[in-house]
Amino acid sequence: MAFQVSGQTYKGHVESMSDQIEQKVVSYRRHFHQNPELSNREFKTSEFVAEKLKSLGLEVKTGVAKTGVVAILKGGKPGPVVALRADMDGLPVPERAPLEFASKVKSEYNGQEVPVMHACGHDTHMAMLLGAAEILTSMRKDIKGTIKFIFQPAEEGAPRGEEGGAKLMIKEGVLENPKVDAIFGIHINAQTEVGKIKYRPEGTMAAVDILNITVKGRQSHGAYPWLGVDPIVVSSQIIMGLQTIVSRQIDLTNQGAVVTIGSLHSGVRSNIIPEEAKMEGTIRTLDANMQNSIHERITRTATNIAESAGATAVVDIHREYPITFNDKELTEKTVPSLVKAAGKDNVSLTKAVTGAEDFSFFQEKVPGVFVFVGGMPKGKNVLETGAHHTPDFFIDESGMKTGVKAYCFMALDYMDAKK
């Protein structure tokens, strides 16, 4: 039987409080949005988060994985340990949305001054989790277990040469003392209608691998190409060859995949065929077996094409993020919590996403569920809304209340079921 809070069911209490604090959550979001900070540089952001958590009387630890914040809520009754996670970093993107609270922040990124924007909704994630923390703290004596609130830096990736993100938080013990039994995360989605929640059991977001290929030919005068081996032409052939891996060599009825070359650099003058060309790309897969197969096929394709032209190709593939894999049993048990937050008609399955999330590192250690909360204004369609990671990215703030409730119900229902 579900517990009660001050004579209300806990569902009624969460709904009532989420209404009461809705404008406070909006104000948090606007503060974060107007003051974004880049990965591993979330100094003022973490100060603001820590201050709000301390004001709730929570046990707060700062400086986790450089700028991360972790707060612990010990319930009045024994039970499991649940973690709720939100990410904190902005992106080097200029803001075009005509908002009163639009970002005007500039910061240093890879040696250049760049505009900074919360172009992926991490401002809403923090605001929603702060709202959930306030509601859950008000229920402290009735809570059956412990809740860890994890505010994570550098989800978008640490700066060059630095560690960061979920991986570093785990390394520094965020899932220990007390040991976490399950973890839940939310991502706002600008292409899902406000008020709706999307979820998917098992493979939800793609694994990310960074691909680097160096092609070595033989330098010559541009007027005498037959005296050299042109690494630019060879690179072009390799790029075209890589596209046939997904379109002609992979069973796409199983799982989709993406191989994209995003940069190609070679040469310094128009009349010199250079000795070397370098390309960099990304690989996205939703199945571990397919991931391994694509790696092997990329290496074979690049080296064989280069060899056929008298060049060589050195292939380096770095596994960056694993698959965001929602524990199947935990996901099934979490769906009723999502229904409480959004209503039965507003909760549905989603297709797999070829974007990626370092929440996946947490899921490698403990069972976890990652869901999507809608932020697209009603009446709009996906072509009318600014996409994530773009200057026009836009979120309807009314969708955050659904996220606040989802955080609360996922934690409360998990703990209530563990008797």
**What beta strand segments (E) does 101-163 contain?**
106-109, 112-115, 144-152
End-to-end CA distance of the chain, in Å? 11
Cα 210 from Cα 165, distance rounded (Å): 17
DSSP secondary structure letter of residue 393: B
Which residue in the list 15, 37, 42, 397 is annotated as catalytic?
397
A 10 A CB-CB count for 360 gives 24
Question: Rounded distance, CA 279 to CA 325, Å?
Answer: 30
Q: Annotation-wise, does 187 bind a ligand?
A: yes
Exactly one of 28, 199, 321, 407 is catalytic; name it. 321
> 122 a known binding residue?
yes
d(CA 35, CA 101): 9
CA torsion sign, 56 to 62 to 182 to 24? Answer: positive
CA dist., res. 417 & res. 16, Å (int): 23
120 is in an annotated binding site: yes
Please report which residue ranges of 119-211 form alpha helices under DSSP H.
122-137, 165-171
Establish whether 100 is a catalytic residue. Answer: no
> Cα(40)–Cα(87) distance, rounded to whole angstroms?
11
Write out the DSSP string of 2-47: --EETTEEHHHHHHHHHHHTHHHHHHHHHHHHHS---TT--HHHHH
Residues 94-129 as b/e (b if ≥16 CB within 10 A, e otherwise) read ebebeeeeebebeeebeeeebbbbbbbbbbbbbbbb
Q: Distance between CA atoms of 396 and 386, rounded to whole angstroms?
A: 11
> Counting beta carbons within 10 angstroms of the beta carbon of residue 130, is it exposed (0 to 12), middle (13 to 18) or buried (19 or more)?
buried
Strand partners, 21: none
Task: Provide φ and ψ at 231, rounded to 5°.
Answer: -70, -20
Sequence-separated (6 or more) residues with CB below 8 Å from residue 95: 102, 103, 115, 117, 119, 391
397 is catalytic: yes
Using alpha carbons, select from 416, 319, 366 the residue that is nearest to residue 85.
366
d(Cα 53, Cα 134) in Å, to the nearest integer?
Answer: 8
The annotation places the binding site for Mn(2+) at: 120, 122, 156, 187, 389
The annotation places the binding site at: 120, 122, 156, 187, 389
Residues forming the active site: 321, 397
